[in-house]
Amino acid sequence: MLDHFRTRLSRVDERPVDQIDRDIEDELAAHLEQLQADLIESGLPPAAAQAQALSRFGDPRKHKRRCRDVALMERRMKTYTQIIVTAGCGLLVAAVTTSLWFNQQSANAAIGDMSTKMADLANAVGSRTGMPAAGGVSPQTAAVYVTGDVPNPGQFAMPAGGVSLRRMLAAAGVNEWEVNSVVVSRKGAGGTGAPTRIAVPGLYLREDESKDVALQADDLLTVVKNEDASNVIARTHKPAHIRGPRVGEVLFVNGDVPNPGQYAIPTNGISLRRMLAVAGVNESDINHVMVDRTASGGSGKLVVAGTDLREGKEDLVLENNDLVMVVKNEKTRKSADGGPPAVIDPVEAVEAVAPSALPRR
């Protein structure tokens, strides 16, 4: 069948159609003329000879049409084949394109569904571990503050069911194997009693689950990695002064800070170290911090060295309208103390800060 088809296609008459028509007409006309001439020669008058010649020959148009069909049959077959093949290829391409489009749509739907599930899962995990949903500031009232050698320092919401130290370290991106020690600074009972400090060696965290610590609201975790092992744990922590509820008070954090802006002061107050943690500052990067209290008619500017902060020697309770300027190690003391701040104006910061950056009470 296929061979027969190929043979037929190989017989395509390649002459131009008008040439084919001329050849057929010449051949038929030659026959008619010869027949008519012979009939005249046999004695018939020309008119009768012409009529008889046409009668014996048949309709020349019909014969020409049939000859033309024979000549062009393979050419038409080839054209139809090309049309069919082209249409088939077009349909095939359309089918493949449509199939790919549907596959893409299915994949997109699957990805969307997966994203939704992952978001749900992240929310579920966040609600259990205190991991912030976004921006490091959680709408939860109770919070834990993490600073020191931490990939993600900041304020973390305290889940309703509580959270352990190990889980909180995981939420802050801390690798337990790199921890030399963690100091948990905890306010006294009712916010007025003597503060306590719990030093947890990294070894305990890694190898003895019973040494894990159940964290409480407002706990401040200071993480020290192995390479920075110091006597942080042994040093005396100077407690921040805690006072009563404060409503509608704000402070400003600026300088070398991941999240500069205006922050609401929690009702039970907040210390400098906790505030720095909330603003995402890594204590180990700090050269010094300047607290400007002149806007509230206070005692002017107070400079706290980064080393004092890290070692727990220095901390203070922040006041309404305080401006906290952070200078990292590579900055000079002059640019933070005397010279113009290498940071944006605090007023602009207040205007620029997004509402979501404000810690919830």
Partner 1 sequence: MSSYQNTPELLQGTLDVMILSVLKNGPLHGYAIARQIERASGGELSIEEGSLYPALHRLSKRGDLDADWGETDTGRRARFYTLSRQGQKRLVEQTSLWQRVSTAVNSVLAAGPSSAAQEGSR
- From 175, 171, 82, 81, select the one nearest 132 (Cα to Cα): 171
Give the β-pairing of 179-186 and 220-225: antiparallel
- From 82, 86, 72, 83, select the one nearest 11 (Cα to Cα): 72
The vertex-124 CA angle with 122 and 128, nearest 5°, equals: 110
Q: Which is nearer to partner 1, 55 or 210 (CB)?
A: 55
26 binds partner 1 (CB under 8 A): yes
Residues near 357 by Cβ (< 8 Å), separated by ≥ 6? 135, 137, 259, 261, 262, 263
Instruction: Count CA atoms within 13 Å of residue 119 on its CB side.
Output: 7
46-75 residues in contact with partner 1 (CB under 8 A) are 56-60, 62-63, 66-67, 69-71, 74
87 phi and psi angles, rounded to 5 deg: -65, -40
27 binds partner 1 (CB under 8 A): yes
CB of 75 to partner 1, least distance (A): 11
Cβ-defined contacts of 189-192 (< 8 Å, 24+)? 191/242, 191/268, 191/269, 192/242
Q: Which of 5, 17, 19, 30 binds partner 1 (CB under 8 A)?
A: 30
Q: Which is nearer to partner 1, 26 or 209 (CB)?
A: 26
CA distances to 112, 115, 116 from 109, rounded to whole Å, are 5, 10, 11
Q: Which is nearer to partner 1, 61 or 334 (CB)?
A: 61
Instruction: Identify the bridge partners of residue 304 per DSSP, sorted by sequence position.
Output: 289
Question: Which part of the chain contacts partner 1 (CB under 8 A), choosing from 23-31, 88-96, 195-203, 218-226?
Answer: 23-31
Q: Which is nearer to partner 1, 70 or 234 (CB)?
A: 70
CB of 82 to partner 1, least distance (A): 20
CB of 85 to partner 1, least distance (A): 23
205 binds partner 1 (CB under 8 A): no
Alpha-carbon distance of 280 to 135, in angstroms, equals 9
259 binds partner 1 (CB under 8 A): no
Alpha-carbon distance of 105 to 99, in angstroms, equals 10
Q: Which helix (H) or strand (E) holds 273?
A: helix 272-278
Q: Which of 28, 77, 170, 305 binds partner 1 (CB under 8 A)?
A: 28
342 binds partner 1 (CB under 8 A): no
Compose the 72-101 pattern: x for residues touching partner 1 by CB under 8 A, - for all others.
--x---------------------------
Q: Which of 9, 17, 34, 339 binds partner 1 (CB under 8 A)?
A: 34
Count of CB atoms situated within 10 Å of the CB of 86 = 10
CB of 46 to partner 1, least distance (A): 17
Question: Which part of the chain contacts partner 1 (CB under 8 A), choosing from 31-39, 175-183, 197-205, 251-259?
Answer: 31-39
Compose the 2-21 pattern: x for residues touching partner 1 by CB under 8 A, - for all others.
---------x-x--------
Alpha-carbon distance of 17 to 214, in angstroms, equals 97
Binding site for partner 1 (CB under 8 A): 11, 13, 23-24, 26-28, 30-31, 33-35, 37, 56-60, 62-63, 66-67, 69-71, 74
